[in-house]
Amino acid sequence: MFQKAIRRGGKTVREATRAELLSKVKAERTARSGERLRTRAVVTVQRIYRGVRERQRFEDALVKAWLQASGVVAADPGAQLSAQTLADEALPPVLYLLLRPGSAARRQAWQGGHVIPKPSARIAPVLRGALALVLRSMAAANPHSSYCAFASDPARREAWLRQAELLLLLCASLLGSGCEALVAAAAVRLLTVLTDAAAWKCYPPGHAVAAAAAKHLAAFAGRSPALAAAARRLVAAELLATVAKDGREVRYLQRAPLLDTPGFADEVVATAAALLSAARRSTRPADSAAANAAGALSALWPLAEGTLLSQLLAAARGDEALARLVALLHLALEALPELSAAAGLPPAAGAEAAGRLASTLALGTGLLPRLWAWLARRVGLPLEAPRDATRGWDIAALRSGASGLAPADAAGLGLVARVLTQALPAFDDEDFHEGRVPLPLAALRGVATALNTLVYHTQCAAGGVSAPDAQGAGTPRDAQGSAESGRMLRRWAPAALRALYERDLRRRFCPPAMWLAPFEAEQAASAASAASAEERFSAAAVVRTLSPPSDGAGPGHGLAAPRPLGCERGGGRPAALAALLSEAPQCVPFGLRVEVFRALVAAERARGRWGAPPADGGAPPLQVTLRRNALLEDAYAALRDVGGSIRGRLVVTFVNEAGLEEAGLDHGGLVKAFLEEAVREGFAADRGLFAGAGAGGLAYPRPEAAALGGEGTGLLRLLGLLLGKALWEGILLGAPLAPFFVARLQGRRPLLDDLAALDPQLHKSLTALKRYDGDVADLCLDFTAEDEAFGARRLTELLPGGADTPVTDANRLLYVHLAADWHLNGRLGAAAGAFASGLHQVIPAAWLRLFSPDEVNQLLAGGVGGGGLDLADMRAHTVYSGGFSAASVTVRLFWKVVEGMTAEQRGLLLRFVTSVSRAPLGGFRHMNPPLTIHKVYCEASPFAAMGARDVDRLPSASTCFNLLKLPNYRRADTLRSKLLYAISANAGFELS
């Protein structure tokens, strides 16, 4: 393209091209457009500014007018507006100021959970006043003044409902927004009363129209995302706060029917669980652990109030919702101790907080019945168990133990065990059997059956033993989840089972067969599979798997300390049974537990070489010389410092009243005689060391014995040592102990129901106080207890400042349990502790925990007696001396006479020979010394067998040797008459 050149003024000017002209025109157009946009922007800004200024003026005028018209009324607590004035004049300006109804996008944001901006200083008084006026109006009984009266006005009902919905949105937007506490509390209160027709005072109870309106508003609140968002903000504020708050918002919210709405309740549960898990995880970094834990811990209190939990439980409709709530409660109970420790609190604080929450779950929510029904349906557990059932006590669904449960099921069953363990001590035996407990008696029997099966098969599974028919009955699902959710179950299932078993011991509510059903089923299966005797049960094998020998003075073999249920431990079936004996000994038959006890003694005897002569490394025998007229005093002087060495050989020499040593060799009989006489004298009432409880005179140490000083506690310690020696040697003593005292010896703490055996009248009085219908304060009781020792009265405060703390309806349950604890543990503590310290130097408490109190007394005094005697066993383990043999005529006549005796006569015979009327546990092979029939040769007519004169001498006995001295009678009728006369008259006791 050629360009033209134009010459102007002597210069040549090039003509502009087309492209340049177009570019210039475009630039000019852009400049003009920009100018128009700038002009428009200025105009828009000016219009907005003028609008803001005008809106500001309008709002200021609106606020001023509101304060002039309604502010004065709001400031006067006794004044109120009419309902029409409130709805038409007072509320619309407030809703306009805060909700901006002209902006649809803004309203949608609030409906979606937007937090309202914190009201400015000029609007805040209007908001406070409006909320006060509405709440004041809602409380008015006069329909003219009540805001709720429009619910029944057909002409205004729809408009009123729309306005009430806006009020709900306003209140929801205020929650968790950072507004002042008074406004937040009023917002929650208004949420409560607007959705609860019972709070509408202008209507009578049960008014159908009011109920329908309240239900409509509650449904709107439940559907609204604003309320769900408010729930999340509130829970987050409670769980993650790092400063102390009064919690007023949540305290009001607990009483809101909104929590009965599933959507709202689900948000509370899900948010609380998520934030609690986060708080639990956040305790691990060292830099923020204390602050995070303290904030979460201080804000968990809403879960410990029954109202909130009851409402969440009511809203948990369906299995999934209940499972989520169970998971939250399980998490809270597990997290409380961890959070307490991370916050620097003592371990007892976390346990106490978890206990309070468990108590609330047990007593204030109705959780247990619903949770147990849910588990019974899901897992296949007995909802109720009939007492007279003959089968079904070994539950098939639990034969794989805890590992066979799904995580949700393990969490639920663990929650049942935890809550039940916490709840049972609050109820006495009468409450328990009369149905005044969270679960009916038949359901508690079902719980006991389930826990019994679970504990047994979990321990056996941990030891590598599979239960019959368990293959495929339940396989581990989600192993990691099961371990986390099953932690509470493994810890608390044995504790709950033990609590139920102890109830059953005092007053039966379960058949005895139930406790042994899993063991017997497994034994039957093992026998059918031709398993060896040791595989089925071997006391020696069980003992070999227990704790290794110690180097201390105390017994080296002992039952393993209780471990979490189902924890892995090698050793197969013996190890599993050892763990089971530590956790739930009642699941193993009594006779087998006796075998384990004797195996423990034998193992410790071998370890310490207590039965070996000094030449083989054994300890030299203890030489004891005792005056018969001062036997207990001499025993105390000789044995008070020997401690556990009494497990060795004891050589006893008696000195008669003339001061001469009694002749005779001690082959065990003199030790038995010494133990019998010492215990009999020490337990005698005139000694003042022991008293008798109940109709059977079961012994327990007198509290006054400890007040005697060193001599009193020393004698009690000696008697404990001697009783331990008798158990060690297998010597039977007729010294039954009171059950509450045995509990102390086993290392357990007796509770309120054990008081019935010590002082039935006091127990009756305390339980009557629990149920007293009047005002307890009228009884003029305080937290003190009074006792008397040697004529001097002493007052003891049951808690600090107890003398100045009256017993009221609110604290009477605490008083009842503290009073029982003082009588059982405080008052008896020193005396019982002295006796226990002696006993435990020979027999550890863990060994005694293998048995119930009644079973411990059987260890001391023997098993069955009278008609329950096994005559074949007695005959098989009787030895003969002095010329007698099993084939001797007199011996055969003797056994014929014994076979014809009544049960009472057999008991008298056994008592005549051994000083106790019961056979040794496990049979006469365990009698020490063995039962012996010694021939006493006497002249008689050669024709005595044909009716001539027979031997006239009576039988006699040496009880210290378990020796019956039987003349060589020729006729059965003579033997019968002489023997019955001797045993009935208690004649013939002598030492020869």
**DSSP-assigned states of every residue in 265-288:** HHHHHHHHHHHHHHHHHTTSSTTT
Residues 6+ apart with CB under 8 A from 647: 604, 605, 608, 610, 725, 728, 842
Among residues 148, 171, 587, 960, the one annotated as catalytic is 960
In whole angstroms, give the CA distance from residue 406 to residue 479.
9
Tokens of 177: 């927004």
Q: Are 166 and 111 spatial neighbours (Cβ–Cβ below 8 Å)?
A: no
Residues 6+ apart with CB under 8 A from 564: 487, 490, 491
Q: Is 461 helix (H, G, I), strand (E, B) or coil?
A: helix
* Angle CA 970–971–972, to nearest 5: 130
Q: Which secondary-structure segment (H or E) carries 8?
A: strand 5-8
Residues 6+ apart with CB under 8 A from 552: none
How do strand 690-693 and strand 698-701 relate by DSSP bridges? antiparallel
Residue 793 pairs in a beta bridge with 788
Say if residue 763 is exposed, middle or buried (CB neighbours under 10 Å; 0-12, 13-18, 19+): buried
Alpha helices by DSSP H, listed for 392-486, are 407-423, 429-433, 441-462, 479-485
Q: Are 268 and 309 spatial neighbours (Cβ–Cβ below 8 Å)?
A: no
Which single residue is written with the structure tokens 């209507």?
203
Alpha helices by DSSP H, listed for 915-962, are none
How do strand 879-881 and strand 932-936 relate by DSSP bridges? parallel
In whole angstroms, give the CA distance from residue 884 to residue 962.
16
For 72-76, the CB contacts below 8 A with 24+ separation are 73/133, 74/128, 74/129, 74/130, 74/132, 74/133, 75/129
**Is position 587 annotated as part of the catalytic site?**
no
In whole angstroms, give the CA distance from residue 325 to residue 274.
12
Q: Are 138 and 147 spatial neighbours (Cβ–Cβ below 8 Å)?
A: yes
Q: Are 526 and 406 spatial neighbours (Cβ–Cβ below 8 Å)?
A: no
Tokens of 82: 């009419």
- Nearest Cα residue to 187 out of 106, 97, 256, 266: 256
Q: Which residues are catalytic?
A: 960
